[in-house]
Structure 1
Amino acid sequence: MKRKQIKQLSLVLIVQLLIWSSCSLKDSNQRQVLHLKKGWKFIKGDQAGAESYAFDDAQWEQVDVPHDWAIYGPFDKNNDAYETIVTQDGEKVPKLRTGRTGGLPHMGVGWYRKNFHVPSEAKGKKLFVEFDGAMSHSKVYLNGTFIGEWPYGYTSFHFDLTDHVKTGEENVLAVRLENKPKMSRWYPGAGIYRNVRLVYKPQTHIAHWGTYITTPDIKQGEGTVNIKTKVNGNGHYKLLTEIYSPQGELLKSGATVFSVQGDVEVEQTIQVDEPELWDVETPRLYKVLSKVIHNNQVIDVYESGFGFRHFTFTSDDGFHLNGRRVPLQGVCMHHDLGPIGAAVNHSAIRRQLRLLKEMGCNAIRTAHNPPSPDYLAMCDSMGFLVIDEAFDQWKIIKVVNGYNNLWDDWREKDLKALLHRDKNHPSIIMWSVGNEISEQYGKESWKIAKSLVDICHEVDSTRPVTIGLNTYKPVKNNFANQFDVKGWNYYLDYTKLHKERPNWAVYASESQSTVSSRGFYDTDARPKRHYRRDNLQCSSYALEFPGWANTPDVGFAVLDDNPYLAGEFVWTGFDYLGEPSPYNIEWPTRSSYFGLIDLCGIPKDIYYMYQQRWTDKEVLHVLPHWNWEEGQNVPVHVFTNYDSAELFVNGKSYGVQSKDSSEIYRRYRLVWNDVIFEPGTIEVVGLDKNGQAAKATIVETAGEPYAINLIADKAPVKANGEDLAFVEVQIVDKEGRICPWANNEVHFKVEGNGKFRAAGNGDATDLEPFHSVKRKCFYGKCVAMVQTSELAGEIILSVSSGNLKSGEVILKSH
């Protein structure tokens, strides 16, 4: 294929050139995008001949895509159970892991088939299929012909179907997927779990992921936009590039005449006056429309997004965005969405990000794989900084059927696919090529690291490349030196590191890994390393952690005592399916305890410890609840950004406590250890700098369970057959107080223009299938998820439980 680069041939043109965009996007000569969501057929298990055009799939299940076949369960300790050594836990011999990948049946083969009609007008057009991700080892067929394969389940990929399509007829797309046992360290999901599209394009068209947009010069009053556009085809054409403001107004445009034989890259530079900067607080997004014009007719239109922002990592003052220091207040996130599994859902992603934003989080590390394009688009629009991560494993084995088997043939393809797909997202500030890679110990492994960094720089020269390390060895063997910015997981001696490598820019790529179960409290509230209980829960005092980890208090002190660090990425923002440390060998445990928010989206107490640090909100969060045995000693902790507060029990003062920087567990929390329980009320009064009362939080003793209270998420839902409404279910007493020990089983009923989708309660030991219409509350709460239909109107959720007064909420879709 002949490649050449063309510099801009014409002057920047203003609004007058809009005449070239007058053709409708629905013009049959232009590209058309068809989202393949409904009407898929699915079966679990291998099926001989299922790729063939005439195969009878009448008995297969009909599903919508995105689809995760494994999330429906059942949970079983034997699902992907295997023996392994987790060295981070100090293990010397293999132990049987039962919940490491969620205890769900994600292994095995699954087939999907989709019938679609190709109109006769499509003759002469190119037809492509685009997969945002399919888990895993995908093999794609059209009308019985093998089209291509892509084994890594997290990579987006596309295939050209043109030579095998039947125009004017029905066509059959078939996809075979296979998840192998021992392929993951967490729940990977299963199936076509991300979006799929058919794209009709003219013979000459803008290539897949065909624009590369950078803003190399941003100064007061003006911003430079550089756009490189790859075009496939043959002939002589004009490329019209239009830039639209965040408000949708056409700002500037530029036109370039070019010739192409095979493919060509057209480079243009356009100046924009008074650009609005993309920032974590004001994520201003611009749009680019790239139009290929032939004989004064628009034959192809391609849309891209970008943002004006500039940033740098420093060795002595952390991360700077748009000229000011911005600490990375980040979390690591796995890709599952709790009770709905790995299947991409916009409303579920939006809810996760909104809860994180309210906590003060401004950054995400996509641990440990490429995220969905939908996720990145929301990070762009909501103002999150992103580390886009490619791999959890290189050639050296972590799990026997992991990426080590793909490394030799696929690492460059997968990495380039990630880079080309994501390079225009303003949210992305770094590319990460690995996490706790075993190669970091090798003397010659720096050469592998360098090769990956070189690929990143070749595709995108504007962003630094990083990695998550977890040992000091790479400092000495030239491995860490290959990366532009260095990340360390759970490392604490950053003072030593800075003294030895003062010119390195460094951040905490994983921090804390504190474990907790929402609503459960062990009143022996002291730091505990890898502590386990018979009830398989972790205390919510935020003082428990696995062997390699630490508490937030220790992590905060490390950051405050080493201000050169750019920030941290807490493990993790939400609980996720799999990796139930510290209960790796116990059953039933099928999901993690690491989250600041539980699996179904209810914030834990630890959430407020970060909120008081990461926001300017007045935070005065009191724990635990106030339902205990008479006379029991109950430590009271307060997560607050007030330096001092006074505690009262039924009006009696237990004195004022103040933060004390000389004592680690009083530096970031207020603690009253010797509080004797008596039914009634505890009140904590936050004191301002003058010692005056500024804010009060009251916790009351609850009575017996009496009723069900429902609180619907405030986010509006669309009648598109996909949106979810999230409804928190609370067991309350006659006065409306949450009953903190309640574990009542509740039953869900949905009527109207919607249906029940799933429910969860945040309990890592609960084996009830998520799609079951019954659920035990966990310490007084659970969450129901209701899915809209395509008809706007009312959706009625009713929740009942034995003799309790039932709850009902009316949701409205539009």
Structure 2
Amino acid sequence: MSKSILFVFTFSLLMFSCKDNDSAEYGDYKKVISLNGTWQFLASNDVQIEDLIEASYSEWDTLQVPGNWDTRDRYSEYVGKGYYQREFNVPENWDGKQIRIKFDAVYERSKVWLNGTLLGEHVGGYTPFEFNITDIVNLEENNSVLVEADNTYKRGAWWAWGGISRNVSLEAHEDVRLVYQHITSTPNFETNKVQFTVKYKIENNSNNAITTQVQSNIVDVAKPEKISVNINAGGTKIAVLKFTEELSKVKLWHFNTPNLYEFNSTLSINGKVIAEKTDNIGIRKFEVKGEQFYLNNEAVRMNGVNRVHDHPDFGNTEPYHLVKQDMLDLKSLGCNFSRLMHAPLSKNLLKFCDSIGFLVVEEIPVWGDDDEQAFPNNPLTERWMKEMIERDFNNPSIVAWSVGNELRNPGEDWSDKALTKAQYSYVDSMLDYVATLDNTRLKTYVTITSYRKGEIGTEPYEKVDFISMNSYGNAPVLAEKTHKKFPGKPIFISEIGIGQIGAAPHGKLSDELVDYLKKLKTYPYVTGVSLWSYNDYRSNYKGTPLSGFREWGIVDARRNKKEAYSQLKEIYKYWQE
């Protein structure tokens, strides 16, 4: 086993145990407490913050967290600010610990108060955020947390479900914690080795410099040597561990054989464990060679469907039973690859994709001809991308990052569509930024201008690893135009359709679309297609039927199958022949 250790920051070398003698030992207290469940709720765009802090919360309505207020009839059309409140107690043995409150997602703009003190704000409806509440939380009496969620901001044709849509939890840590371990495992098929690289982000909240030891273990594969990391008081350090193993010792992750390994790490000071982290990893290599995708040194073509995070009863909360049902259904259709949605996906969905072998392109919600976020070096979109990548780095199902979808100049003439200068610069700068966060995965941007007025110099061709192209017309002709103007790279038809399919059970794909889907198989540079969409979804976008649900799906919003379902299954079977 070979090993090299790199330290990104340099701090002084001073060993110090930050353990409070009166504090509970690491193994003797619960690390996470869920705040899911019943919260008090008020929908109001007029109430003043001062009145909220002193409100009689028992007079408010109640909602479940995670949840969306617009799944309730009385709030089904409500847009604006919703306020959530609940009380909690902190365990006695958390005294002396670092205590944080974590939100896995709140749509879309949020503010959080604890005991009347504003903790902070977050913008972005799909990624996690947290606040350190150690110095504010009451250890001996009730605490009151108040959350403002505002769903005014909207992108795309999907419904802007409002509220606290993911888990809320309290977390306790020692003064030194392991924030994340980002694990890369790259097979080399010439040397028959696997190169492992692990980046540990370690945070020291104490008032003293410390030295901590990091010990990692891949169950049944490897136990690299322990490393020491020195961190100044109040500092954060990225430490990097590299080691190799024989390729013959591992089973690779593939859409047919999604083998996973457990990667465990511990932090210790003076021999005492102070932090632990476990992630499941898949060892695989997904790359582009010429105009083809390669998975583990084998050329692959893969199809899929786009799936909107939407259900009449569950909104966009993505309960596990729905995720499992839908993703297994996609696999049964012959689907293995898709940019499932125009926004960061729920963590439980990604873990399920890991377990069943479904490859994913993950994207941030920048979309259309009027997106105010589409300008270069945008700090907000960079934060969205960073939050998504830091959360999802270890998911082997994710093989590419996308910086946006269908940006275009305004106007009604679709034949004249191209990126504006600001939109082009946005995509260009974001692709560069993605590379600084993760240089191990592919990068793309989803275009509908490549076959219109887009040209080299006005279309982000050079920096994407593959072309993601949406088509709602003659897809084979549009793919030919794109390939002629931008040769030498794979083209994935990330969305394909012609018009809404219609209601269940008789909605079906048109003969024209069926012909397009079959013909695209004959184009060697087309690596696959992804139908828009798997499910019907709630919307108030133009062209939505009176039902309030856009009928693009091969199943309806409650997952009742249409005739299109069987049609698509036969088409994807044809692709595999």
Identify the TM-score tier after normalising by the shorter chain: 0.7 to 0.9
Residue of 601, 611, 629 corresponding to 2:559: 601
1:68 has 2:68 as partner: yes
1:286 to 234, 255, 261: 261
- Is residue 238 of structure 2 the alignment partner of residue 238 of structure 1? no
Change in Cα spacing, 1:131 to 1:107, as seen in structure 2 (3 Å) is same
Structure-2 change in CA distance of 1:350 and 1:403 (3 Å): farther
Contact 1:132 / 1:156 at 8 angstroms: preserved in 2? yes
Aligned to 2:460: 480
Cα pair 2:287 2:442 within 8 Å, conserved: no
Amino acid at match of 2:476: L
2:194 aligned residue: 223
| Counterpart for residue 308 of structure 1 | 283
For 1:406 and 1:590, how far apart are their aligned partners in 2? 35
User: Any conservation in 2 of the 1:254–1:270 contact (CA below 8 Å)?
Assistant: no
Give the Cα–Cα distance (whole angstroms) in 2 for the partners of residues 4 and 259 of structure 1: 9
Unaligned runs of 5+ in 1: 8-23, 76-103, 522-539, 545-549, 617-639, 643-814
Asked if the contact 1:285–1:306 (Cα under 8 Å) also holds between the matched residues in 2, the reply is: yes
Q: 1:773-792 alignment to 2 at 5 Å?
A: none
SS in 1 for 2:313: helix
Pairwise CA distance, 1:553: 2.0
Distance change (3 Å), C-alpha of 1:392 and 1:182: closer
Q: Distance in 2 between matches of 1:180 and 1:405?
A: 21
8 Å Cα contact 2:211/2:228 also seen in 1 = yes
Question: Is 1:467 aligned to residue 445 of structure 2?
Answer: yes
1:328 aligns to what SS in structure 2?
coil
Deviation at 1:203, TM superposition (A): 0.6
- Give 1:151's aligned amino acid: V
Q: How far apart are 1:58 and its partner, in Å?
A: 0.8
How many angstroms apart in 1 are the aligned matches of 2:566 and 2:89? 53
Q: Aligned ranges for residues 516-665 of structure 1 at < 5 Å?
A: 516-519=501-504, 521=506, 540-543=507-510, 551-557=513-519, 559-578=520-539, 583-584=543-544, 588-615=546-573
Question: SS where residue 169 of structure 1 aligns?
Answer: coil
Displacement after TM superposition at 1:429 (Å): 1.0
Contact 2:489/2:525 (8 A) holds in 1: no
Q: Is the 2:113–2:146 contact (alpha carbons within 8 Å) kept by the matching residues of 1?
A: yes
CA offset digits 1:363-408 (Å, max 9, x no partner) = 23132111111111111112110010112338x625xxx7579995
- Please list the CA deviations of residues 576-630 of structure 1 after superposition, one character each: whole Å capped at 9, or x if unmatched: 111677x44x6x23111111222111222211222223348xxxxxxxxxxxxxx
Q: How does 1:136-215 map to 2 (within 5 A)?
A: 136-180=108-152, 185-207=157-179, 210-215=180-185
Deviations 1:288-308 (A, max 9, x none): 222110111111111222110
Inter-CA distance 605–325: structure 2 relative to 1 (3 Å threshold): farther
Cα pair 2:333 2:569 within 8 Å, conserved: yes
Q: Any conservation in 1 of the 2:36–2:66 contact (CA below 8 Å)?
A: yes
Greater helix proportion: 2
Structure 1 Cα separation of the partners of residues 367 and 569 of structure 2: 33
Is residue 499 of structure 1 aligned with residue 484 of structure 2?
yes
Q: 1:430 aligns with which of 379, 400, 408?
A: 400
1:454 aligns with 2:458: no
Listed one character per residue, the Cα deviations across residues 718-737 of structure 1 (whole Å, up to 9, x for unaligned) are xxxxxxxxxxxxxxxxxxxx
Give yes or no for contact 1:190–1:342 (8 Å, CA) kept in 2. no
Give the secondary-structure state (helix, strand or coil) at the position aligned to 2:142: strand
Distance 1:501 1:519, change over 3 A: closer
Partner of 1:330: 304
Other-structure match for 1:5 = 8
**Aligned residues of 2:194 and 2:244 also touching (Cα < 8 A):** yes
**Cα distance, 1:569–1:25 mapped onto 2, change above 3 Å:** farther
Q: Which residue of 2 aligns with 1:788?
A: none
CA distance 1:265–1:541, shift in 2 (3 Å): closer
**1:693-704 paired onto structure 2 within 5 Å:** none
- Aligned to 1:495, the other structure's residue is in SS state helix
- In the TM superposition, residue 641 of structure 1 has moved relative to its aligned partner by 10
Q: Distance in 1 between matches of 2:517 and 2:390?
A: 35
What does residue 240 of structure 2 align with? 267
1:740 corresponds in structure 2 to: none
Q: Residue 198 of structure 2 aligns to which amino acid in structure 1?
A: I
Structure 1 residues 240, 275: closer, same or farther in 2, change over 3 A? same
Partner of 2:59: 59
Distance in 2, Cα, partners of 1:281 & 1:551: 28
Quote the RMSD (CA, aligned, Å).
Answer: 2.9
Unpaired runs of 5+ in structure 2? 1-5, 11-23, 410-417
What is the rounded CA distance, in whole Å, between the counterparts of 2:560 and 2:503 in structure 1?
8
Structure with the greater relative contact order (CA < 8 A, sep ≥ 6): 1 or 2?
A: 2
Give the drift of 1:51.
8.3
Partners of 2:44 and 2:381 lie apart in 1 by: 29
Give the CA deviation at 1:243.
1.3
Q: CA deviation at 1:516?
A: 2.5
Indicate which of 465, 482, 489 corresponds to 2:470: 489
CA distance change for structure 1 residues 503 and 519 in 2, over 3 Å: closer, same or farther? closer
Q: Which range is displaced more, 42-51 or 605-614?
A: 42-51
Q: Distance in 2 between matches of 1:123 and 1:405?
A: 46
Q: Percent identity?
A: 26
For the Cα contact (< 8 Å) 1:514–1:551, is it kept in 2? Answer: no
| Contact map agreement 1:512 1:555 (CA 8 A) in 2 | no
Give the residue type in structure 2 aligned to 1:333. Answer: R
Structure 1 residues 340 and 250, CA, compared in 2 at 3 Å: closer, same or farther?
same
Question: CA offset at residue 56 of structure 1?
Answer: 2.0
C-alpha distance after superposition, 1:546-596 (max 9, x if no partner): xxxx61322321x22312111112101111111677x44x6x231111112
Stretch moving more, 261-270 or 451-460? 261-270
Larger Rg: 1
Local SS of the residue matching 1:601: coil
Question: Does the 8 A contact of 2:39 with 2:64 survive in 1?
Answer: yes
Change in 2 beyond 3 A, CA 1:190/1:422: same
One-letter identity of the residue aligned with 1:517: G
Separation (CA, whole Å) in 1 of partners of 2:82 and 2:311: 21
Q: 1:238 offset after TM fit, Å?
A: 0.5
Q: Which residue of 2 aligns with 1:413?
A: 383
Greater per-residue strand proportion: 1
After TM superposition, list the pairs within 5 Å mapping 1:248-267 onto structure 2.
249=220, 251-261=222-232, 262-267=235-240
Q: Alignment partner of 2:323: what SS?
A: helix
The answer (yes or no) to whether the contact 1:386–1:430 under 8 Å persists in 2 is yes
One-letter code aligned to 1:231? I
Cα distance in 2 between the residues matched to 1:405 and 1:310: 33
The structure-2 alpha-carbon separation of the partners of 1:602 and 1:404, relative to structure 1 and needing over 3 Å to count, comes to same
Task: Render the CA deviation track for 1:321-373: whole Å, top value 9, x for unaligned.
Answer: 11222212111122113432222311111111111111111123132111111
Which whole-Å CA distance do the structure 2 matches of 1:489 and 1:109 have between them? 34
Question: Could you tell me the TM-score, scaled by structure 1's length?
Answer: 0.61
Q: Does 1:386 align with 2:386?
A: no
Alpha-carbon distance between aligned partners in 1 of 2:123 and 2:184, rounded to the nearest angstrom:
31
- Equivalent position amino acid for 1:412 in 2: E
Question: What are the Cα deviations for residues 8-60 of structure 1, in whole angstroms up to 9, with x where unaligned?
Answer: xxxxxxxxxxxxxxxx997137x711222124222222543478665421122
Q: Is the 8 A contact 1:117 1:169 kept in 2?
A: yes
Change (3 A) 1:567 1:579: farther
Aligned pairs for 1:292-371 within 5 A: 292-316=267-291, 318-371=292-345
User: What letter matches 2:238 in structure 1?
Assistant: E
1:25 & 1:339 partners in 2: Cα distance?
43
CA distance in 2, matches of 1:133, 1:513: 33
Q: Call closer, same or farther: CA 1:515–1:312 in 2, change over 3 Å.
A: same
How many residues in Structure 1 have an aligned counterpart in Structure 2?
A: 534
Corresponding residue of 1:729: none
In structure 2, the CA distance between the partners of 1:34 and 1:364, relative to structure 1 (3 Å rule), is: farther
Deviations 1:68-124 (A, max 9, x none): 11012369xxxxxxxxxxxxxxxxxxxxxxxxxxxx414121111121111232222
